[in-house]
């Protein structure tokens, strides 16, 4: 407690202390047999004090008690709280009771320090006064507690003493440092100084604890007790000897036991403490904090005691280090009176050379043994004592630097590598080894929708990087809700590390596919659905492929594709986040282009796989995210992908060309687009069919149209083709201005789409009667509309006319222009076989040896063609067949044509059906008459119709025109 100026009135703090004093006095005074007087109260204090730097104690009210077995007679004394103890200095001024002034009031005692008091108020006479209430008490069995109280008087007690001067000056305390007499026992020796010099020092009455060096007298606190008295005497007069009382605080012994360690080892420094118990009613203590100086770096930050676990430190160089443990002990000497003792424990630690090791591993696919390659730095193998591996969790086994191990199952395994040198230093490395399952070639195409599982994909990061934010589940986010189908699951980023982003800053993470055997695939295509919801031109995602089997080697990963927004592929380059750690270009998806919904993306893999098929047996793909330490504070979900597929590019594009033989320039452009140069063969991945119509630009009739008008007209009407020719339709989509680029672009795009239907085989066999039996075996790989149709066309590969050549001219559609309905699919995939009979009509083609079959699957609602196939080896013998479009005798007549109200077929046993120009069957009432069948067409719109007549021997098509007379 800091001192106040002499003469000031006691503070409220002091009055609170007096209340405590009163309670203590009452506790001690049961009964007083001897009246209290100045003499019997203060007889413990001298009347004259030398200015000793020590505390003298005056006990308050401690008279002898007289308590009889059956009677109690005496006096009770209580200090009056409105009359506090007071001290008057030689000038008659009051001196406050403060430690700084040399005065203290404690429980049942008053402490006086003559040195401090004289320094504060001077030498001379002092008066100490106390005021009490005295009450007569006697034994009374009827009174509470068997004691009754009698007369009450007020008693004033005072004691006068003097502080005289001394010819000697010797002290530790000062008015500004009353704790000068409190010394930590870990303090170095103290030089004693007193005047005049030449006197004698003693410690607790002897020379123990003193040493003499020349004319210096040194005091060693380490060997002294908690309370120590040091005296200095010069001469023999009054106050020629002064006493200074010291408090020696025993700082606990703190230490650590480490004497040596190994380079790079995380050495545990555990602190041990030994402390003597404090004397009763003296002090309490605790460590406030501590910090380390290991000698190889700046001091470590201060830490709060206690040490819960050992502190660790790894030295980066060999040698001898003086390690210091710095600490501070705080002693509690009284209320609001802490005293700190700093300390340090020093010890030498020898750091020995240790192995610096690492290991890599190769062969990620589980069907290969994992190759482990250990590495040592700075040591030869002659210095190595042990090389140990634990690759399956069964414990360390002795081995060599390089070893192989076969894991029975895919998954994440822990591999440990440990090397011990001849000086018993060791280092251990632990890494995760991930082994991926293998998808065999027989299981392809690979189509993974992630709905029933994560697809055996693995999320992770490169070694020594932050955590991955990838997860597999039903996607949820700011705008991301559900997978591509809306009801399943997918892979997506989902992290709470950044409040507004669902992925981390500075993240380099990936999702890794199983190993895929692509050795049997001819032209594989990678496709997927994705949603990019990233910070624009900052963060990105890329797809990469690897065949090396090396783990964590970014140089081996090849970026698949480049900028190609047309196919939904990468839309940014130079992305600072550099997904996949690309050396060049930094391609990827970036930005939030997919806020509205999922995007379909596809890319051919031809240029990204090893040249030799044998090297394609273990292909691995990863979807890699790269972000920067930039946060634009916009809520973004990151990235999601679904329906990852690697399929054969077996999509064969159907090119339908509507033209006229006279349009030579346009036909030449189409031939250049669809035929192999210098041949009559169609380019790979394409089937072409040519329809000939009569064009506005050509007044003469196209002879190829005249050979079979219903087929050409029906297909033209199906697409809404007018006579403004030519027109190219690719996979059911009309292409405006197809040449020179638009047709090729559309072809490239369509070729990347996964085929929903696959044609497994088309066979044709002509029987003895000339009828050709055609079987079309096809598989539905993805659900299609039940009303989708399988159509088979007979085409003539080369047709000469008027010095021009036409190619793959359509000669017939089987069984007719409407095709055959696919129908419901009970399960996916499902395989079906379509059987068609066809009797070749020599009048419909020029060269039977040039005929071929084209099969294609088409959705009649959207007009999309799913797949097509050319059967190029059709070999038949033509059979003359009656054609209704020619003047050939028929078994029955069809009239009138044009028709107004009805069409008459003069046969009662034939099946007749009517189709519009779009190939759709039209409902028309049929009535049977004596002369045949009447088909009512009076309510039909005017136009061209196809009448299909089946007499169980032949199926013929007859074009009729419905024209209503004006009424």
Among 87-96, 336-345, 624-633, 882-891, the least confident range = 882-891
Rounded Cα distance between 411 and 433, Å, is: 8
Distance CA 546, CA 539 (A): 23
Read off the pLDDT of residues 80-98 as tens digits, 9 standing for 90 and up. Answer: 766 678 899 999 999 998 8
How much of the chain exceeds pLDDT 70, in percent? 90
Please say whether the beta carbons of 114 and 50 come within 8 A.
yes
pLDDT of residue 177: 85
Average pLDDT over the chain, rounded to whole?
A: 86
**Is 912's pLDDT higher than 70?**
yes
Give the integer Cα–Cα distance in Å for 40 and 58. 12
| Phi and psi torsions of 889, nearest 5° | -65, 135
Helix (H, G, I), strand (E, B) or coil at 354: coil
Give yes or no for a contact between 655 and 691, defined as CB atoms under 8 angstroms apart: no
Which of the residue ranges 74-83, 306-315, 635-644, 865-874 has the most confident prediction, judged by mean pLDDT? 635-644
pLDDT at 100 over 90: no
Q: Kindly write down the DSSP assignment for every residue of 607-642, as one continuous string.
A: GGS-SSGGGGTTBEEEEEEE--S------B-EEEEE
Q: Hey, what's the torsion of the CAs at 423, 424, 430, 436, to 10 degrees?
A: 80
515 φ/ψ angles, rounded to the nearest 5 degrees? -80, 130
What pLDDT digit, counting tens, does each position of 852-886 carry?
999 999 999 999 999 999 998 787 876 543 333 33
Lowest mean pLDDT, pick from 540-554, 569-583, 886-900: 886-900
Distance between CA 642 and CA 475 in Å, rounded? 10
Q: Examine the pLDDT at 61 and tell me if it is beyond 60.
A: no
Helix (H) or strand (E) holding 58: strand 56-59
Q: Do 420 and 389 meet the contact criterion of CB atoms below 8 Å apart?
A: no
Report the pLDDT averaged over residues 523-531: 93
**Range with lowest mean pLDDT among 82-86, 396-400, 497-501:** 82-86
Query: Which pLDDT score is estimated for 81?
Result: 61
Residue with tokens 């989509």: 733
In whole angstroms, what is the distance from residue 944 CA to residue 961 CA? 5
Question: What residues does 757 pair with on adjacent strands?
Answer: 780
Domains detected in the chain: 12-163 (no CATH), 178-249 (2.60.40), 253-352 (2.60.40.10), 356-435 (2.60.40.10), 439-648 (2.60.120.200), 653-871 (2.60.40.10), 894-962 (2.60.40.10)
Structure tokens at 924: 């028309």
- Beta-strand ranges (E) seen in 426-576 are 426-435, 438-439, 446-448, 458-461, 470-473, 490-493, 508-512, 515-516, 524-533, 540-546, 558-559
Stretch 270-293: mean pLDDT, rounded?
90
Task: Answer for the pair 232, 199: CB distance below 8 angstroms, yes or no.
Answer: yes
Instruction: Give me the pLDDT at residue 75, please.
Output: 73
Phi, psi of 269 (to 5 degrees): -105, 100
Over residues 656-704, the pLDDT tens digits come to 999 999 999 999 999 999 999 989 999 989 999 999 998 777 778 888 9
β-pair partners for 912: 949
Model pLDDT, residue 958: 75
**749 burial type by CB count under 10 A (0-12 exposed, 13-18 middle, 19+ buried):** middle
Rounded CA-CA distance 566/562 in Å is 11
Identify the DSSP state of 365: B
Beta strand ranges found along 333-425 (DSSP E): 338-352, 356-362, 370-377, 384-390, 397-398, 402-405, 411-421
Residues contacting residue 913 through CB under 8 Å, at least 6 positions apart:
921, 947, 948
Task: Kindly state the tokens that stand for 383.
Answer: 């210095």
7, burial (CB in 10 Å: exposed 0-12, middle 13-18, buried 19+)? middle
Q: How much of the chain, in percent, has pLDDT values that exceed 90?
A: 57
């Amino acid at each position: 407690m800091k001192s106040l100026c002499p003469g000031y009135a006691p503070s409220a703090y002091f009055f609170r202390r007096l209340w405590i004093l009163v309670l203590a006095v009452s506790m001690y005074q049961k009964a007083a047999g001897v009246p209290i007087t100045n003499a019997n109260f203060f007889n413990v204090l001298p009347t004259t004090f030398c200015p000793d730097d020590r505390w003298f104690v005056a006990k308050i009210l401690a008279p002898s008690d007289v308590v009889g077995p059956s009677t109690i007679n005496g006096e009770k004394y209580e200090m009056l709280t409105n009359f506090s103890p007071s001290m008057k200095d030689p000038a008659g001024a009051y001196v406050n009771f403060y430690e700084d002034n040399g005065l203290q009031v404690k429980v049942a005692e008053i402490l006086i320090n003559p040195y401090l008091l004289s320094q504060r108020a001077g030498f001379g006479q002092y008066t100490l006064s106390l005021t009490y209430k005295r009450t007569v008490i006697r034994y009374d069995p009827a009174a509470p507690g068997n004691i009754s109280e009698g007369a009450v008087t007020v008693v004033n007690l005072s004691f006068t003493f003097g502080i005289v001067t001394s010819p000697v000056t010797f002290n530790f305390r000062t008015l500004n440092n009353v704790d000068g007499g409190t010394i930590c026992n870990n303090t170095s020796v103290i030089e004693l100084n007193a005047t005049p010099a030449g006197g004698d020092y003693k410690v607790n009455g002897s020379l123990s604890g003193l040493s003499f060096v020349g004319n210096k007298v040194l005091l060693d606190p380490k060997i002294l007790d908690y309370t120590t008295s040091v005296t200095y005497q010069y001469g023999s007069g009054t106050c020629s000897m002064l006493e200074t009382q010291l408090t020696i605080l025993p700082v606990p012994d703190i230490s650590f036991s480490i004497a040596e360690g190994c380079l790079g080892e995380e050495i545990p420094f555990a602190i041990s403490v030994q402390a003597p118990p404090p004397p009763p009613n003296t002090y309490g203590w605790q460590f406030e904090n501590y910090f380390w100086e290991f000698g190889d770096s700046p001091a470590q930050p201060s830490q709060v005691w206690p040490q819960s676990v050992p502190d660790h430190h790894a030295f980066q160089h060999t040698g001898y280090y003086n390690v210091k443990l710095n600490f501070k002990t705080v002693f509690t000497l009284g209320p609001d009176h802490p005293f700190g003792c700093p300390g340090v424990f020093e010890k030498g630690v020898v750091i020995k050379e240790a192995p610096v090791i690492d290991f890599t591993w190769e062969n990620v696919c589980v069907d290969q043994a994992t190759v482990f390659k250990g590495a040592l730095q700075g040591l030869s193998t002659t210095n190595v004592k042990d090389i140990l591996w634990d690759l399956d969790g069964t414990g360390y086994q002795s081995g060599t630097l390089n070893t192989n191990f076969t894991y029975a199952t895919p998954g994440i395994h822990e591999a440990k590598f440990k090397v011990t040198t001849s000086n018993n230093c060791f280092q251990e490395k632990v890494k995760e080894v991930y082994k991926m399952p293998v998808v065999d070639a027989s299981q392809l195409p690979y189509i993974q929708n992630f709905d029933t599982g994560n697809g055996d994909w693995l999320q992770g990061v490169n070694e020594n990087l932050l955590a991955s934010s990838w997860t597999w589940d039903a996607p949820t986010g700011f705008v991301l809700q559900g997978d591509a189908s809306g009801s399943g699951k997918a892979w997506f980023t989902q992290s709470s590390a950044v409040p507004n982003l669902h992925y981390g800053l500075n993240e380099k993470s990936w999702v890794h596919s199983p190993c895929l055997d692509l050795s049997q695939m001819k032209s594989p295509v990678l496709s997927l659905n994705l949603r990019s919801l990233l910070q624009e031109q900052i963060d990105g995602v890329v797809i990469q492929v690897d065949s090396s089997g090396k783990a964590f080697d970014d140089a081996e990963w090849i970026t698949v594709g480049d900028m190609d927004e047309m196919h939904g592929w990468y839309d940014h380059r130079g992305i600072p986040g550099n997904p996949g750690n690309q050396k060049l270009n930094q391609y990827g998806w970036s930005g939030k282009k997919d806020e509205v919904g999922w995007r379909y993306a596809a890319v051919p893999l031809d240029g990204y796989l090893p040249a030799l098929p044998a090297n394609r047996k273990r292909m691995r793909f990863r979807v890699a995210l790269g972000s920067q330490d930039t946060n634009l504070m916009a809520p973004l979900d990151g990235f999601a992908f679904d329906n990852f597929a690697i399929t054969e590019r077996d999509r064969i594009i159907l090119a339908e060309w509507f033209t006229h033989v006279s349009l030579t320039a346009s036909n030449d452009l189409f031939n250049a687009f669809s035929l192999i140069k210098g041949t009559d063969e169609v380019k790979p991945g394409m089937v072409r069919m040519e329809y000939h119509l009569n064009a506005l630009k050509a007044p003469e009739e196209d002879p190829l149209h005249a050979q079979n008008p219903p087929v050409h007209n029906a297909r033209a009407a199906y697409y809404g083709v007018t006579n403004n020719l030519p027109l190219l339709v690719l996979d059911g989509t009309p292409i405006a201005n197809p040449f020179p680029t638009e047709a090729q672009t559309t072809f490239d795009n369509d070729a990347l789409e996964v085929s929903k239907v696959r044609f497994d085989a088309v066979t044709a066999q002509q029987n003895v009667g000339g009828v050709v039996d055609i079987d079309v075996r096809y598989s539905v790989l993805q659900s299609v509309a039940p009303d989708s149709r399988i159509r088979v066309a007979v085409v003539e590969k080369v047709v000469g006319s008027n010095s021009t050549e036409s190619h793959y001219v359509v000669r017939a559609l089987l069984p007719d222009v409407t095709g055959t309905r696919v129908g419901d699919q009970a399960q996916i995939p499902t395989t079906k076989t379509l059987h068609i009979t066809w009797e070749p009509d020599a009048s419909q083609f020029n060269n039977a040896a040039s005929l071929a079959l084209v099969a294609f699957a088409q959705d009649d609602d959207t007009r999309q063609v799913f797949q097509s196939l050319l059967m190029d080896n059709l070999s038949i013998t033509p059979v003359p067949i009656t054609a209704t479009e020619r003047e050939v005798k028929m078994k029955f007549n069809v009239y009138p044509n044009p028709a107004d109200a009805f069409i008459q077929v003069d046969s009662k046993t034939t099946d007749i059906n009517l189709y519009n120009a779009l190939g759709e069957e039209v409902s028309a009432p049929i009535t049977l008459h004596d002369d045949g069948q009447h088909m009512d067409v009076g309510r039909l719109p005017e136009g061209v119709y196809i009448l299909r007549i089946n007499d169980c021997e032949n199926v013929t098509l007859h074009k009729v025109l419905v024209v209503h007379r004006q009424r």
